[in-house]
Structure formats: C-alpha cells, structure tokens
Chains A and B, each alone.
Chain A
Amino acid sequence: MDEVKRMVTEYVTREYLEEGDDRVIKEDTPLITGGIVDSFSMVSLKRFLEKKYNIQIPDADATPQAFDSINNIADLVTRFTKGRV
C-alpha cells in the first residue's frame, strides 16, 4: 500500500506540477478539487495506473472523487488488485 502511494505521488508530481511549482503533494492533498489535476488531464493518470498495476478501471469507477487524493487513488488500486497474486 505504501509502495503504491509512493509511486502515485511521484507520478502525480512529475506529470502535473509545473516547473517552479513548490506545492508538496501529501496523501490527502485534494488533487481535482484543489485544481492540481483537472478532469481533462486525468486520463493519463488512469492509464498510468492501469499499465503499472495491470488492471482495468471501468469508467464508472474512474470518478473525480476516486482520483481526488493519493489516499483515494491507492484505495482504488488496492480494490482492483485485491485477490491477485
């Protein structure tokens, strides 16, 4: 779980923060409602998770709510990877 959070935090920082943006992404930092990730650019995050963890996140589950913080994203990933070896 912590490993997932670390990976996702690293990706979000690299993919969404502009150079010189000194905001720190914490586990509960609001990403979508906080204006760091907009729904337009959210698609690359979804694709990153699907590729990295070899999962399929159906559109119905890929809600702005589910992507709104590192914690929520880690929950989402765990839900889809659970039960797999």
Chain B
Amino acid sequence: MAYSKETREWYENEISGIREAGLFKEERYIHSPQAAGIAVEFPVGAAPKQVINLCSNNYLGLSSHPDVVKAAHEGLDYRGYGMSSVRFICGTQDIHRQLENKLTEFLGTEDTLLFPSCMDANAGVFEAVLTEKDVMIADRLVHASIVDGMRLCKAMQDTYKHSDMAHLEEKLQEHQDKRVRMVITDGVFSMDGDLVKLDQIVALAEKYNAMVFVDESHASGFIGKTGRGTHEHCGVVGKIDIITTTLGKALGGASGGCVSGRKELVEMCRQRARPFLFSNTVAPVIVSGALKVMDLISQTTARRDKLEQNTICWRKLLTEAGFDIKEGESPIVPVMLYNARLAQDIARDLFAEGIYVVGFFFPVVPKGQARIRTQMSAAHETHHLDKAIAAFIKVGKKHDILGKGKKEIIAMYGQ
C-alpha cells in the first residue's frame, strides 16, 4: 500500500505540530448570504448564531446586492453555466471581453486580461513579462500570492523595507545594470490597512527608469475619489505599468482577478501566463454579475462614500473607547493587542456578544504584533456600528485594555 501506516503517521504528526503551534485554522459555516448580518455555525454542530460581520472584504456591500444577483441569473440564462474549456480553445465569450474592456476603462489602463483569481494573476504575471536579465524589487509586506509569483520568475529578486522610500531608492541605484527594474507593491496593505506612497514610487520609477506594479485587491472600487484605486488617490492614473486586482472582494466578491496595464504587457500575459493558459476562466454567471457591479460603481460614488463615512465613524468610535488602533484611512482597521492569546480570547468573547471578528498573529503578522482586524463595509448601518462598539467596550473592559497603549498591554499580557 502506497499510503502506508508510517506515511499516515508522518502527516498526523505534522498536523499536531500545527495545532500545538497554535496555527490550526478552522472554518466556520455560514448559513446565509454574505452581508453585514450573517448566521454562523460555530463551533461545528452549534445552532447558527446571528452576528454582525466585521471581517469580510465586502467593502461596497455588493456581494448579495439584488441587482447583481439578478444580473447573474440573467447571465446563467443567456450564456449558460460553464465553458468546459480554457480561454484560448473555446472558453471566451463576448461577455468576458466586455468585462475586460470595462475594467480597462475603470482602472484607466490600456488593456485587461481576466484570470481565474488574483492569486493566479499574481502567480503568472511576473514570469510572463520578465526575464533573467531583469530585477523585481518588492515591498517586504506584499501579499503571499505576489511572493509565490516572484518565486516562479527567473528575474533577480530583491526587497525593500515596508514603504521605506530611501531603501527603495538604494535598491533602484544598486540595480541600474539590469534590463528592467520592476517595483512591486500592494495598493492597500491587507494586514495594517495602510496605503502605498504611490506618487513617490512613481517619481522614483521615473528617476531610475523602472516599471511599477501594484496589487489593488484591497483598493479597487473604493480608494480614491471615484473608487478607481490608490493610483487615483495618489494622482498617478495612467502611470502604473501593471495593476492586478480581484473580483473577489469589493467588486461583487464572487471570484476572478485580472492583470491590467500596458497593452504589450497584457498581451505577454495572454500569450504566456500559465494560470491564464491552463485553467478555465471566470464562469459566465460571475462575469454577468461583475458587469453589473462595474455599471453600479461607474454610475455613482454613493457606496464608496458611505464606506468612507463608516470608516471615519468606526475609527472614531474605537479611538474614543480607548482602543489602540493602527492609524490610517482605509476600511481595514486593526485593533492592536500584541499578544496572540489575548487576540484569540477577545475574538471569542466578541463572538459571544454577536460580533464576528478574527484574531491575527504570527506568522500572518510579525511576532509581537497580534491584533484583531476589523473591516468596514458600505452594508453596515449605524445600528450595526453602535452594537459593535458596545460589544467591543464590554469585552475591552473585561480584559482591562481600554485606554492602554502598546507598552501597558504588553506589560499585562506579554508579547
């Protein structure tokens, strides 16, 4: 037998190791559509509990929007369920190209190519456009999918300290002998919620003749005055060579991603990116829903404006209550707790109070930086935030952390 007793034991050991290290992840089953209020079965077997969701990427509240659901139904009726083919054989419909064109227009780029996910876009893009004569210079906090994509690419790898422009400049100087220098960053960093200094990066890229790559997964649809992303926020629309983003967060939240940017680079992806070539693309039903999402967010900024208001309000409520939060302007609002155990205990207590949040700790965030990451949505109403802050205050009092800063929390709970 190939899967021998020893083999099984080896895996059992590995899994216990994950548990003992406190890194074991458990799913919670949700018995309702994605929304501000959801029904969660946790632990497994428990009766579903109605809770306020503060941890989804449903930034614009479009995941279950009736117009989007209706458009998806229509797509199912008119273009069927599946394609049973990759794009370049017989897997491309007219609506796929329509969606690509709408994304190009929205992002202010030259062309766009859909991928099964943004993970796939990031995994495939670098290998498709760079060679061993080139160098990739990435912010140290970029998303895991970018790290994987860089590993699959033959170009030299380098990194700079998070958002440290002086360090980036040193690296750009060091690599002047390369054919292409590509600066690689996230638009909004998903763990801290801080925004990239994209105007400064573009200026450095111009000075040192480099290309700029930005992953806008946590920005597309709501950062910037009309929600185009961090390039709009920083006033550099049209100056970004490659943008990748996801349809799996603000833009309807189902699935799918894209590479958008200079048309030659997008064409290289169409010809060479392996996750594009060798995997089915987004299903017609999702494309139809996403087309409606693009219509909705192009017509009005009402949803991103409401998200902005909710974010300002939530940051103010947490600060006034005495929580130690990471300053910033994105709807990702981390409540800092520094200790992994404390983060887990507080998440559990909040769940009992009807608030759904998750604790994050090493290795997802650096050691000693444990936190609860809260995320705002345009679907949240004032009554959701009122109830949430009341629960946070109650649980904060129980653990005696209100009004306490980093040093005091660490003194009480350790790091």
Which residues of A are at the interface with B, using a C-beta cutoff of 8 A? 16, 18-19, 34-35, 38, 40-41, 43-44, 47
Q: How long is the Cα–Cα vector from A83 to B20 in the complex, in angstroms?
A: 45
Contact A44 B367 (CB under 8 A): no
Contact check: which of B140, B164, B362, B367 meets A40 at CB < 8 Å?
B140
Q: How long is the Cα–Cα vector from A34 to B368 in the complex, in angstroms?
A: 11
Binds A, one of B94-102, B126-134, B153-161, B257-265: B153-161
* CB-based closest 6 A-B pairs: A35-B367, A41-B159, A43-B157, A40-B147, A41-B140, A44-B158
Report B231 CB to chain A, min CB distance, Å: 25
Q: How long is the Cα–Cα vector from A44 to B160 in the complex, in angstroms?
A: 10
Interface of B is mostly: loop
Across the interface, which residues of A come within 8 angstroms of B159, CB to CB? 40-41, 43-44
Across the interface, which residues of B come within 8 angstroms of A40, CB to CB? 138, 140, 147, 159
Other A-B contacts than A18-B161, A40-B138, A47-B158, 13 sampled, CB-CB below 8 A, are: A16-B161, A18-B162, A35-B363, A35-B366, A35-B367, A38-B140, A40-B147, A40-B159, A41-B140, A41-B159, A43-B158, A43-B159, A44-B159
Which residues of B are at the interface with A, using a C-beta cutoff of 8 A? 138, 140, 147, 157-159, 161-162, 164, 362-363, 366-367
Most B CB within 10 A of own CB, among A34, A40, A43: A40
Q: How long is the Cα–Cα vector from A19 to B162 in the complex, in angstroms?
A: 11
Q: How long is the Cα–Cα vector from A35 to B369 in the complex, in angstroms?
A: 11
Across the interface, which residues of B come within 8 angstroms of A43, CB to CB? 157-159
Across the interface, which residues of B come within 8 angstroms of A19, CB to CB? 164
Write 6 A-B pairs (CB below 8 A) sorted by A numbering: A16-B161, A18-B161, A34-B367, A35-B362, A35-B363, A38-B140
Smallest CB gap from B137: residue in A: A44
Smallest CB gap from A19: residue in B: B164
Q: How long is the Cα–Cα vector from A44 to B138 in the complex, in angstroms?
A: 12
